[in-house]
Amino acid sequence: MKKKIIENIKTIIYALIIALIIRSFLFQPFYIPSSSMEPTLLVGDRLFVSKYSYGYSRHSLPFSPNITQKRYFSKNPERGDVVVFKTPADNRTDYIKRLIGLPGDTLQIIEGELYLNSQKIQRDKVEITFNINCGNRKLDINAFEELLPGGERYIAVYNKEGTMQNTDKFIVPDEHYFFMGDNRDCSKDSRFLSSVGYVTFNNLVGKASMIFFSNDKKKGNFFEFWKWHKSIRIDRIFNKVQ
């Protein structure tokens, strides 16, 4: 009996070690709690983030232990990546946004249009058939397919009565990045310098890769499996994040 208990304890320990390795160095699951990345990511999406995409820092480990200030096996992110990062304000809170500005870039919103390095981002108006929200509020939006200089395309939405129609000019410092939510008027991101601002390279956690589960929590939460037939968004499962 004692031997069996010891073997079970060993099995649990080995399983925890394997899970820790996978979470720290390969993939980590994340839950989307807000509307800031609609329509790309919806509240209730659960996705895998690849931890190896940009190399490893202390934020690759659980609880971000302050054991190093370096990044190992580092790879530069690409403009347009959807990235999980730790906010500079506390180095603890996870945010997920789209990478728009690289080190040395200048960015500005003028009359509701995004300018990158003094060039207006090309965009084409599109129609979307589902609601865009900001918390519990439905937004009246214009949707555009934006094209970044590197060729990355994505859908960004702007509230017709948005408050970010014009901004100051942002200049991205060396070894920092500028992030924006695709739901432009419902996103606390690098435009808010006091709370998010420019994000240092070491604060990048990983690149969003794939949605593995999605459910509309208005129709039932994840644990109410008897409501899954109503709440699960089948069409989003296994979608690549881009």
**Do 190 and 108 contact (CB within 8 A), yes or no?**
no
Question: Which pLDDT belongs to residue 42?
Answer: 95
Q: How far apart are the first and last CA of the chain?
A: 52
Provide the pLDDT for residue 132. 92
Q: Are 60 and 25 in contact (CB under 8 A)?
A: yes
Q: How far is Cα of residue 34 from the mean position of the Cα atoms in its chain?
A: 11
Distance separating alpha carbons of residues 20 and 38, to the nearest angstrom: 30
Task: Dump strand ranges (E) for the chain.
Answer: 27-31, 45-50, 82-86, 94-101, 106-110, 113-116, 119-120, 122-126, 133-134, 137-138, 141-147, 153-159, 170-171, 176-180, 199-200, 204-214
Name the phi and psi angles at 211, rounded to 5.
-85, 120
Q: What local confidence, expressed as pLDDT, does residue 81 receive?
A: 97
Which member of 34, 35, 36, 190 is catalytic?
A: 36
State which residues of the chain have pLDDT below 70: 8, 19, 22
The overall average pLDDT reported for the chain is 89
* pTM greater than 0.75: yes
Cβ–Cβ under 8 Å, residues 196 and 188: yes
Domains of the chain in start order, with CATH, are: 2-112+162-236 (2.10.109.10)
Residue type, 166: N
125 is catalytic: no
* Contact (CB, 8 A) for 55 and 73: yes
Indicate the residue type of 42: L
pLDDT tens digits for 2-11?
777 777 677 7
Question: Which residues have a Cβ under 8 Å from the Cβ of 186 and sit 6 or more positions away?
Answer: 35, 36, 38, 133, 134, 135, 139, 159
Calpha distance 185→134 (Å, rounded): 8
Task: Name the catalytic one among 60, 97, 190, 231.
Answer: 97
Q: Residue 242 and residue 209: Cα distance in Å, rounded?
A: 8
Per-residue pLDDT reduced to its tens digit, 37-63:
999 999 999 999 999 999 998 888 888
Residue 32: CB partners within 8 Å, gap ≥ 6?
Answer: 41, 42, 43, 44, 45, 46, 47, 96
Residue 219: active-site member: no
Q: Identify the pLDDT of residue 64.
A: 83
The Cα 133–Cα 35 span in angstroms is: 6
pLDDT score at 8: 64
